[in-house]
Amino acid sequence: MELGIYLLALLLRLPGINQSLWLDEAVQVWASRNFSFWGLIWHYMPGDFNPPLYHSLMWAWIHLFGSQEWIVRLPSLVFGVASVWLAVKIARELNWPEKRALLAGLLLAVAPLHIYYSQENRMYMLAAFAVELAVWRTLVLAKRQNWRNILWLSLALLIMVFSHFLTLFALPVLAWFLWKKKVEPIKLLAVAIILAGAYLAYSPLLWRQLKMGLGWQQAFPVWRQTVGSFTLKAAFLLPVKFLLGRIAISPRWLYGMVAILLAAAYWLLPLTMLAFDLLKKKAKINEQLIAALVIIPPLAGFAISRWVSVFSYFRFLYILPFWYLLVVMELKQLGRLGNLATTILVVASMVFSGIYLFNPKFHREDWRGMVNWLCQNNNGGLVVILNQIDKPFDYYDKGRSQVCRLSRAADWQRCPPRREVFLVSYGLPIFDSQDKIRGKLLQAGYRLKQGRSFRKVGVEKWEEIIMKGTE
């Protein structure tokens, strides 16, 4: 049965792995292809607020195997299946019965959000894998306190903290657990020195990243709201997306009703049961560890989002395996009713995952479709695009179109005159929030004739107005 769970996890992550790259994935590919390794680290990364591990991995991967869509997503797929395996390992290390451990793995295998990010060329699945690896090695060290396990834990923690910055919120939880397990202070100090030394070496680049990231927040306020916000809506999206994944249900009231019912059953109920156990002092230290990993990181992320835009549900994907562990752990107390509830969760997850996998409506931005349409309908016209978002366009266009790239509306003066202009409208609400580029087109005598959207990738056809007697 265990092998079947891993095979199921693999099979559910294969359909759609070749879908169009979206903006961030295309930027990842562009950076890996166009920079040397050290150029990637010292010149590209200051403008990308992420640690260097995933960038380094993808640089090597793309140079070895190429940059086709399915190839660049393979590492995330591997991390996704390995994450399911680690969920089972953690459950066993918690001394759970075998059936319960496999149930936790099954829930993660069919999880719609986990499947989605197992198909994305970004660092979120690496972070989920890394945190699980660190938790597993923490549990092992708590049982067998030797220097060999200290080295293994140190390596796991280095992978974790250099996979994504928000994994740092898991560090205090793991430190607290090891302290409660009475691990020798000298061994904990050794781990702390290794981590501190690594981040000290990284600090010059980290400082540049912080400075540039905060600068972008001030320059583009709408972008700040897009990448992460300090709002109740953002907080509510975390439990909802963990349950439903990246799909939407129509009408909106039905989506809201389903979301509330599922959140009450699989978030509010387990957390309430945990709170009662804590009050009665029935919760064991291992159970407290899993609960803390679910609760502390998003609370900390939400708190600092008041100043730094980091709170988005996908950045906390790494707590998803522990949420499933928490659900299995708490609902077991309900006996047959708990077994029924977990069965319903498995079935619902399969349904939501199927909707995502086999309905292209819920796939990523369709830059490939937009570029193909543009090439078929463009008869010598000019493509106007913001240079902040042109990487996915270039990935698929491959130099076939005549392009004018803008960083601001004033750059329109550099665009050569054409009877037809195709404006890629993606990104305009963020980088041209006052709609000055369309204003320039109107002033130059163009009128909007047609608009198309390819899963949020908009393109507009503008034509120059020709006055009678001037042809």
In SS3 terms, the chain reads as CHHHHHHHHHHHHCCCCCCCCCHHHHHHHHHHHHCCHHHHHHHHHHHCCCCHHHHHHHHHHHHHHCCCHHHHHHHHHHHHHHHHHHHHHHHHHCCCCHHHHHHHHHHHHCCHHHHHHCCCCCCHHHHHHHHHHHHHHHHHHHHCCCHHHHHHHHHHHHHHHCCCHHHHHHHHHHHHHHHHCCCCHHHHHHHHHHHHHHHHHHHHHHHHHHHHHHHHHHHCHHHHHHHCCCCHHHHHHHHHHHHHCCCCCCCHHHHHHHHHHHHHHHHHHHHHHHHHHHHCCCCCHHHHHHHHHHHHHHHHHHHHCCCCCCCCHHHHHHHHHHHHHHHHHHHHHHCHHHHHHHHHHHHHHHHHHHHHHHCHHHCCCCHHHHHHHHHHHCCCCEEEEECCCCHHHHHHHCCCCEEEEECCHHHHHHCCCCCEEEEECCCHHHHCCCCHHHHHHHHCCEEEEEEEEECCEEEEEEEECCCCCCC
Token pair in block for residue 434: 């006052």
Under 8 Å between Cβ of 422 and 378: yes
Q: What gap in Å lies between CA 471 and CA 464, rounded to an integer? A: 12
Q: What is the pLDDT of residue 410?
A: 78
Contact between residue 130 and residue 159 where contact means Cβ atoms under 8 Å apart: yes
Domains of the chain listed by start with CATH number: 2-362 (no CATH), 367-464 (3.40.190)
pLDDT score of 306: 77
**Mean pLDDT per 10-residue run, the chain (471 residues)?**
94 95 95 93 86 95 96 97 98 94 96 97 97 97 92 96 95 95 92 94 84 63 56 86 92 90 92 85 86 94 81 93 95 90 95 95 95 90 92 94 86 86 92 88 90 94 71 47
- The pair phi, psi for residue 406, each rounded to 5°, is -120, 140
Q: What is the pLDDT of residue 471?
A: 47
Q: Which residues of 74-106 are buried (b: 16+ CB within 10 A; e: fewer)?
A: ebbbbbbbbbbbbbbbbbbbbebeeebbbbbbb
| Cα distances (Å, whole numbers) of residue 330 to 180, 293, 318, 327 | 22, 15, 20, 5
Residues 6+ apart with CB under 8 A from 20: 69, 363, 364, 365, 366, 367, 368, 369, 392, 396
Say what the pLDDT of residue 468 is: 46
d(CA 273, CA 279): 10
The per-residue pLDDT for 213 is 66
CA distance 363 to 296: 31
Token pair belonging to 438: 């369309």
* Res 470: pLDDT: 46
Residue indicated by tokens 């995933």: 54
Rounded to 5 degrees, what angle do the CA atoms 84, 85, 86 make?
90
pLDDT at site 329: 92
Q: Exposure of 123 by Cβ count < 10 A (0-12 exposed, 13-18 middle, 19+ buried)?
A: buried
